[in-house]
Structure 1
Amino acid sequence: MKIILADDHALFREGARHLLQQLGGGDIEVLEAATCQEAIIHADLHEDVDLALLDLHMPGVTGVECVVHFQAAHPEVPVVVLSGSESRPNVQAVLDVGALGYIPKSSSSQVMLSAIRLVLSGGIYLPPLVMDQELNPVEAAIASRLASRAQMPCCLTERQMDVLKLLAAGKPNKLIARELGLGEGTIKVHLAGIFRALEVNNRTEAVMEAQRRKLL
């Protein structure tokens, strides 16, 4: 699994890189960037990037500009914003331009990992500072859109569907990893995302539920 980590503070990147390794048992490649442009270049050079973590404020861009520029260049890559700010307007702004999550840097390591896993499984992460307060009309519209998305019959990413099809063919993790050119740790992360998205507990139930939803 490849994750772009863009932040202009090297010390933060170092800590975040070690934390991200926990997602796939060491089978994680973190592509570090100090600017938004470097993040876009990484995505240009690596077509198999699974996620981009972008700091809200980096040199050369202001506010949500990096999210806008990155998604314009690579709309297929999910984006999660990292920020030292816990401002509700900032959260609303990044969601408005298509980010799938907003993680305050004050979050615990466990919260950060859970948020990233949620996005990798096809969900959207909203911090408690938004969920615990009354929503204004724009935020209410966003929440309604997310709820509709959660009710959609197909809730898996393209990569998760690749894994699910091979899973339905009865192939073990090692063969799935080999066919998709991924590590076994990455396959485990995708399987966990599939189980959460389909609300099942094991491989057999996942295949049965996918068939019920006509995903296979």
Structure 2
Amino acid sequence: MGHETSDVDAEVPHLPQRSGKDRTSGGPSGAILIVDDHALVRHGLALAIGEFCEGSRILEAGSLAEAIELVRETPDLAIVLYDLHLADTEEDGVAGLRRMIAEIGGAPVVVFSGSAEPSAVIECIRSGARGYLLKTCSIGALEHALSLVLSGETYVPLPRAILAPPGAAEETEPLNHMLERLTGRQRDVFQLLLAGQSNKEIARSLGVLEGTVKVHVRAIMQKLGVKNRTQVAVAAARAGCFPEGA
């Protein structure tokens, strides 16, 4: 969820890299840090990112302690993908996340986890994470999430299990009241927003200009009283509205 995406596409040099050249094209201008205590997961994630981030430096850490050391040595850090359940944070993964965020001071942290528990997602976002990715996500979802976070937005997965925590229905308005506020075209855009599509993808799906989609997205947010796509998704899920096929 979030605003605009920046187009990032291509590949990464040799992995892992503790130091490296500045990016040549595509991807963020700073380093990408992957923190996971399973080497194969780290390498796989780095290779996946390499499909759409050309020339970006990839750093890898197998523990929170190693990650903090790398953070202190990397002034141009652009983004961190952080496993919530590291071996050296077994007692409290969220406490480790908070320490990581405090050490970084500026670069966004995206949690990368196998847990789809709504409480975990909510607690991570409240603790300062700028995104939450499931380890079962597609490369397309990974690319979309990273581009949103790098553009200043927040990404969370949308399945009903994630965004509809127990008891949430008591706090929100019925679905029909929410949709009554939207025009027919805004409803089309709304559904594609819930499916996680970027403005460019929505424009392509509906056969309209991207600028037109931006206007509709702003109008939807205003009518629903929210400030970003994450809040659109949460409000929709709590009202019982999910992407088609979810």
1:89 equivalent in structure 2: 119
- Please give the TM-score of this superposition, normalised by the length of structure 2: 0.53
Q: Give the distance between the partners of 2:159 and 2:69, measured in 1 at CA.
A: 33
Unpaired runs of 5+ residues, structure 1, are 141-192, 203-216
**RMSD over aligned Cα atoms:** 2.5
> 1:91, 1:129 → 2: CA distance?
12
Q: Deviations over 1:167-190 (max 9, x none)?
A: xxxxxxxxxxxxxxxxxxxxxxxx
What's the CA shift string for 1:69-119, capped at 9, x where partnerless? 111212211100000111101001100100000000011111111111110
Is the 1:83–1:103 Cα contact (8 Å) retained in structure 2? Answer: yes
| C-alpha contact (below 8 Å) 1:104/1:127 kept by paired residues | yes
Q: Among 67, 77, 86, which residue is 1:39 paired with?
A: 67
Contact kept in structure 1, 2:121 and 2:162, CA below 8 Å: no
Could you tell me how far apart the structure 2 residues matched to 1:123 and 1:108 are? 20
Q: Which residue of 2 aligns with 1:52?
A: 80
Which has the larger helix fraction? 1
C-alpha separation in 2, matches of 1:57 and 1:94: 12
Superposed, 1:127-138 pairs within 5 Å as 127-129=157-159, 133-134=163-164
* Structure-2 separation of matches of 1:21 and 1:63: 27
- 1:150-169 maps to which residues of 2 (within 5 A)? none
Query: Which structure's relative contact order is higher, taking Cα pairs within 8 Å and 6+ residues apart?
Result: 2
Identity of aligned residues (%): 31
Q: Which residue of 1 is the match for residue 52 of structure 2?
A: 23
Matches of 1:67 and 1:22, distance apart in 2: 27
Letter in 2 for 1:31: L
Q: Give the superposition deviation at 1:131.
A: 8.4
Match of 2:33?
Answer: 4
Alignment check: 8 A CA contact 2:118 2:162 kept = no
Pick from 99, 109, 114 the counterpart of residue 139 of structure 2. 109
Runs of 4+ in 1 over 3 A off after TM superposition: 130-137
Does the 8 A contact of 2:112 with 2:133 survive in 1? yes
Shift of 1:21: 1.6
Deviation digits for residues 30-62 of structure 1 (CA, Å, limit 9, x no counterpart)? 110000111111110011000011001001113
Amino acid at match of 1:117: S
Structure 1 contact 88–130 (Cα < 8 Å) conserved = no
SS in structure 2 of the partner of residue 128 of structure 1: coil
Structure 2, unpaired ranges of 5+: 1-29, 172-197, 201-208, 212-246
Secondary structure at the aligned position of 2:44 is classed as helix
Alignment-derived partner of residue 159 in structure 1: none
State the partner residue of 2:153.
Answer: 123
SS at match of 1:14: helix
